[in-house]
Structure 1
Amino acid sequence: MSDNYSSDDYEVVADAKLPQGMVSVRATGDGDFGTLVQTKTHAWLMDEPESVEGGLGKGPNPLELMQASLASCTLMTMGMYARRKGVELGDTRASVTYKKLPALPREAKSHFTVVLEFDPQISPEYQVKLSEIARKCPVHKLLTGMVEVVVEEA
């Protein structure tokens, strides 16, 4: 999606007034789930698919964005390591699937699976090292660590 998109009711543009590191979200009024996401440098739409009542499919849904964050961070972390070692990742890819598990006491209730597809030119030994590095991406660490979310009123 482009960083600039116009609609009759709103404009999808980055908000230079936002502090670096802050994300702001507001309802667009399109369907029940349409939201405009803005950062200091980017903006995009999010929604639920049309298969969900009230969804118009105008953008990824929150879980898809979480999956994209994990896959992107994984690939970026491996890329940073590979660049430092002078190795090209070529057509290496990361994909993520999400599954909600039955809730059991003291056990994870959500399951993300990251699948790494390495470029054929990357040796099996280096693939093992990159798989280790993949587990060090900040989003992976966030999802596997203890997280506290605080909701405050402005």
Structure 2
Amino acid sequence: MPAIPTVKAVLQETPYLVSFTDDLGHAWSADEPTEVGGGNTAPTPERLILASLGACTAITLKMVAARRQLPLTGVQVELQLNPSGKPESGNDIVRQITVQGDLSDEQREQLLKIANACPMHKLLSGEIRIHTDLGI
């Protein structure tokens, strides 16, 4: 059984800088722009979510293309959060996927369906329940 993905976020002494570690030993950070008092030393939390979706999309496309022996040679994913402004309810993520390779129109359509089924797409577009406890 795979490990449960676990991330620890720790607020640092520098205003708004948060350091992360995960159960696999990786480390990264988040920060806020200088306009709101941050140091702009790392992506904002919103950008980290967009990055997660972009990474998952590209990785999923490459994995499936390799299994199906599709001639996919490259993937670029550009994402924007609420590019038309914050909607009255929810949020809008616009994802533009560019695929490279000698792919037929049918293969490109297959890849679009696969992108819409990547794990992060499913997580972000499905119901999310967040259970919060306050530790001491």
Asked whether the two chains share a fold, i.e. TM above 0.5, the reply is yes
- Per the TM alignment, residue 123 of structure 1 is displaced from its structure 2 partner at its CA by 2.1
Say whether residues 1:47 and 2:28 are aligned partners: no
Inter-partner Cα distance in structure 2 for 1:139 and 1:55:
28
Partner of 2:87: 102
Task: Establish whether residue 126 from structure 1 lines up as the match of residue 107 from structure 2.
Answer: yes
Q: Does 1:21 align with 2:2?
A: no
The reply on whether 1:113 has 2:100 as its aligned counterpart is no
| 2:43 aligned residue (44, 48, 60) | 60
Secondary structure of the 1:153 match is coil
Specify the alignment match of 1:77 in structure 2: 60
Q: Measure the CA separation in 1 of the matches of 2:73 and 2:51.
A: 20
Instruction: Tell me the alpha carbon deviations over residues 20-45 of structure 1, each in whole angstroms, 9 at most, x when there is no partner.
Output: 521001111112x1011111320012
- Segments of 5+ residues of structure 2 without an aligned counterpart are none
* 2:74 match: secondary structure: coil
- The unaligned stretches of length 5 or more in structure 1 are 1-18
Report the Cα distance in structure 1 between the residues aligned to 2:41 and 2:121, rounded to whole angstroms.
Answer: 27
Q: Using the alignment, how far apart are the partners of 2:12 and 2:72 within structure 1?
A: 39
Question: Matched residues in 2 for 1:91 and 1:55: separation?
Answer: 35
User: d(CA) in 1 for partners of 2:44 and 2:70?
Assistant: 34
SS in 2 for 1:117: strand
**Helix, strand or coil for the counterpart of 2:81?**
strand
Query: CA RMSD, aligned part only?
Result: 1.6
User: Offset at 1:92?
Assistant: 1.9
Number of residue pairs aligned between Structure 1 and Structure 2:
130
Q: TM-score, normalised by structure 2?
A: 0.87
Query: What SS does the aligned partner of 2:95 have?
Result: strand
Q: Is the 8 A contact 2:73 2:100 kept in 1?
A: yes
1:147 maps to which of 125, 128, 134: 128
What per-residue deviation string (whole Å, max 9, x for no partner) do you get for residues 60-107 of structure 1? 11000000001111111111110101124212211111105332xxxx
The whole-number CA distance in structure 2 between the counterparts of 1:63 and 1:88 is 33
Work out the percentage of aligned pairs sharing the same amino acid: 27
Contact in 2 for aligned 1:91/1:118 (Cα 8 Å): yes
Report the Cα distance in structure 2 between the residues aligned to 1:44 and 1:92, rounded to whole angstroms.
24
SS of 2:100's equivalent?
Answer: coil
